Structure 1
Amino acid sequence: MTSSTNGDGTAVNQPTSLPSLTSLRFIVAVMIFLFHSTNYVLFASPNVGERFLGLTTMGAWAGMSFFFMLSGFVLTWVARPKLGTLTHWRRRLMRVYPNHLLMFVVTAIIMVTVLNQVLDTRVALLNIFLLQAWSPDLMDRIGFNSVSWSLSAELLFYVAFPVLLPLVRKIRPERLWAWLIGLLATITLAVPLAVELLPSQEVMPFLDLTPNEFWILFHFPPTRMLEFVAGMLLARIVATGRRIPVSFGGAMALTVAAYAFGPMFPPEFRMVAVMVVPLALLIASGAVSDLNRTRTTLLSSAPMVRMGNLSYSFYLMHMQVLVLGSYLLGTDKPVSTPKGFAVLALFFAVAVVLSWVMYTVVERPAMLRFGSHSRKGAAKTTPSAVPAARSTVAEPAPAAADSVTESPVGVR
């Protein structure tokens, strides 16, 4: 980083290449893929099926928190000193919508031609305009390409970001940790305890939560925006040189421990609260590790970064690969363990290839054509502006989670 700073104490011209965070996006996306696959690749052995589900469930829930916090972190990290609101909204819109609309059409075609389902116009409109996560009806939220519910939450974050950023920048550097701790305490304690005050309903199998509890804890955009703001605070903590209490390795160990013990917590805490602090430390320490990196690691290697860049396309694509693949190969009925894992590997490979195609043909061209700062009329970069356009930290793009058998991802 340079020695000069902005008025908020943030270093200017700070390096924007944080490859480890980009690579982690794909690892988290894979965990979500594996969790979702448990509903489409059914093992004949109950023990294998139960263990596989047990190993992947926490990854699905944690993946949502990781992506929402990373979204807040990256948008804050690459934000220029003077954020142009309309430019920001245009860039975010072009980041999200091309892939979303393509997968909406693909999903609708599969539903009508393969699954012989009747399209619900109201649910379709909610999905097209990314309003589905605001509905208390689970089927509204997971209709069509179920993982796109997270884009509905991200849309709120993107709209609110120009208002939130000046407020976060006003916080004095020495008070950033106090604000973050207070926010994390709200997420880990206040929100789970508050949902217990909701009117009584029948508990949903597997989740051990009522429909309204699940909605408020996991899908409701204002609730999930708390994690987005936490990510914004993390970015300022790193940018202003505040001390991170653990190393990247230590944060990884805490994350693994929370992952292992998470299922033992009450359901209100299991989905978000248990993992949010370790994941916050993982993001912050990962950024610091990248800034201080003197040699290439596995996470900072070019192949892993390239996979990280595919994570948003992979996230939106993978559900339809599972849906169509299981229908064609019959893996929605019990199969042997070797066949199940072989088919799972095939689905993964197909999803990666199709994600690369969507990233190359749709996502990247749309961003370059319509989402670039260099477009005519966009403000020119001043010498003190952070070179956001060159950032290799995938500028977050959404995530998703769904019904009892589905969960989240996304970001670039």
Structure 2
Amino acid sequence: MGALSVATRSSTTAPGGEIRSLTGLRIVAAAWVVCFHFSFTPGNTWTGSWEPLRPLVASGGLGVDLFFVLSGFVITLTYLDQLGPRPGVGAVARFWWARVCRLWPVHALVTSVFGFWLLYKATRVPDGQIAYQHLQPVVDPLHWLEQMLMVQLWHRPSHAGASWSGPAWSISAEWLAYVCFPLLALLLWRLRSAPPVVTGAIAVGCMAPLAWFALTEGGAAFPYAWALRIGGGFLAGAFTCLTVRRIPRTERSDRAATWIAALATAEVLLCVWWSATRGAGGYAGVAGVTFPFLVGALAHSTRGPSRALGTPAMVQGGRLSFALYLVHVPVFEVFWTLMGWYPRLAPGSTLAGLLTPHVLLLTVPLAYVLHRFVEEPARRWLRDLARPRHLAPARHETADETLRVLPATLAPRRPGTPEAPSVLPVPAVEEGVVRPVVPVVRTRPRVPSGTP
């Protein structure tokens, strides 16, 4: 089979080179986490409506692990060629600054505003229970600085109480992965030509420990288990990227990837509903071993689940997902607190039942406002701030640092087979900034020796 045509690939990739299916997958992961946290809302007005989906909602914590795999894939795809061969100080600094520009603005704003709420709540509650966490966070200037530096989790054995807003623990974990990535890139670069079966097996193996703990103990509940989650997920995504880079994109491989994505999705659902038969516990974590298959297949294919996730609505949702992930718990916690303070909002009351779904829906426009007026403008301003003045401002990039289109032909061809015409995207790099790819037609694809 020949390489896929430009028209076929463009259905699941944006003009700027964004892998639309992976962007769409982000909102699925975020919504999974949001629904999980919302299920803790007091009251039983909507219990009957949630019940059919309870196994899926109860396993929403897996959305964080899916985020980690996605992050490892995207960062490797975007930065490996820059940092892998020889990561100079300038390239590493630009990479770290790009990640700060991506994570910090919304995190800093949401954390600081929510911190004021916690301080106010501390004046109203006598028992010191200011946050809906097992361990209460400490709200003072020193810990605020720790939150702003995104290092609040690094020295703690558990994410409970580490962040003022519960989900922000994963932001601290991801920041640690980004700090370590330049060293990881050296290893990944030397394994870039390894057979796909090898890198694919490593990717699945990185998720295996979490799956084993989920199967045997109902989850990884030991000190610093968060390090296993971010380490396993990020590495799994990175090696999945190496795998996909080595597989030629043909009609046959596209169909196979579509089936793999569909089967991986079905396997996740099967594990989720199986976990419900085991009772309380994180048994659904066994589904984590399917995430490398799911992410890799969605990145490679152009039809089926990839096409569905690549629709404009899903892609827009994916771009809002980071803001949604950070803002939803503060909104929920304010609502839960008001339910306890005011009798008319008490759990089970008519007003509480009416407002409950509206509070859930409110997180979406709030996420849009944060994305549109805080996240994107702040990211561009911070990136331009560090750019030499003689350079023109960079064109607008996607929320994930421009997910580059995977080439149609990435693996060396077999000896004796003719070279079919293909279109290889050529990323333009200026001062470490990955620009949107520009397709360049070549009748004889150039496959350098030893490169994917």
TM-score range for the pair, normalised by the shorter chain length = 0.7 to 0.9
SS in 2 for 1:131: coil
Q: Aligned residue for 2:370? A: 358
Change (3 A) 1:339 1:92: same
Q: Aligned residue for 2:380? A: 368
Q: Give 1:365 shift.
A: 0.9
Q: Aligned residue for 2:20? A: 19
| 1:335 lines up with 2:355 in the alignment | no
Change (3 A) 1:327 1:378: farther
Contact 2:23–2:315 (CA under 8 A) maintained in structure 1: yes
Change (3 A) 1:53 1:371: farther
Change (3 A) 1:183 1:18: closer
| 1:286 lines up with 2:301 in the alignment | no
Contact 2:30–2:63 (CA under 8 A) maintained in structure 1: yes
| 1:108 lines up with 2:115 in the alignment | yes
SS in 1 for 2:43: coil
| Superposition pairs of residues 128-147 of structure 1, within 5 angstroms | 128-134=148-154, 135-136=156-157, 139-141=160-162, 143-147=163-167
Q: Aligned residue for 1:120? A: 139
Query: Which one of the candidate residues 273, 293, 301 is aligned to 1:260?
Result: 273
Q: Distance in 1 between matches of 2:366 and 2:312?
A: 20
Query: Which one of the candidate residues 163, 166, 174 is aligned to 1:154?
Result: 174
Q: Give 1:176 shift.
A: 3.7
Change (3 A) 1:326 1:190: closer
Query: Which one of the candidate residues 85, 104, 109 is aligned to 2:92?
Result: 85
Q: Give 1:131 shift.
A: 2.5
Range that drifts further, 31-40 or 144-153: 31-40
Q: Which runs of 5+ in 1 are unaligned?
A: 4-13, 197-206, 392-412
Change (3 A) 1:27 1:270: same
Counterpart residue type for residue 120 of structure 1: V
Q: Deviations over 1:56-114 (max 9, x none)?
A: 121x2220111000001111122262232111000001111111110111111111224
Change (3 A) 1:49 1:43: farther
Contact 2:199–2:243 (CA under 8 A) maintained in structure 1: no
Counterpart residue type for residue 216 of structure 1: Y
SS in 2 for 1:92: helix
TM-score between the two structures when normalised by the length of structure 1? 0.74
TM-score between the two structures when normalised by the length of structure 2? 0.68
Contact 2:73–2:241 (CA under 8 A) maintained in structure 1: yes
Contact 2:105–2:374 (CA under 8 A) maintained in structure 1: yes
Q: Which runs of 5+ in 2 are unaligned?
A: 5-14, 84-90, 129-137, 395-424, 438-452
Counterpart residue type for residue 276 of structure 1: G
SS in 2 for 1:364: helix
Q: Aligned residue for 1:228? A: 234
Q: Give 1:319 shift.
A: 0.5
Q: Deviations over 1:113-165 (max 9, x none)?
A: 24536753354444332223231255432x41111000111011111111112
Q: Distance in 1 between matches of 2:71 and 2:55?
A: 27
Q: Give 1:372 shift.
A: 6.1
Q: Distance in 1 between matches of 2:362 and 2:214?
A: 42
Query: Which one of the candidate residues 171, 185, 188 is aligned to 1:165?
Result: 185
Considering only aligned residues, what root-mean-square deviation do their CA atoms show, in Å?
A: 3.9
Q: Deviations over 1:241-262 (max 9, x none)?
A: 1666643222222222222223
Contact 1:373–1:379 (CA under 8 A) maintained in structure 2: no
Q: Aligned residue for 2:76? A: 76
Q: Aligned residue for 1:403? A: none
Contact 1:45–1:336 (CA under 8 A) maintained in structure 2: no
Which gives a bigger RCO, structure 1 or 2 (Cα 8 Å, sep 6+)?
Answer: 1
Q: Distance in 2 between matches of 1:279 and 1:174?
A: 21
Change (3 A) 1:265 1:328: closer
Equivalent pairs, count:
360
SS in 1 for 2:161: helix
Q: Distance in 1 between matches of 2:282 and 2:306?
A: 37
Change (3 A) 1:255 1:271: closer
Query: Which one of the candidate residues 313, 332, 343 is aligned to 1:322?
Result: 332
Q: Aligned residue for 1:301? A: 311
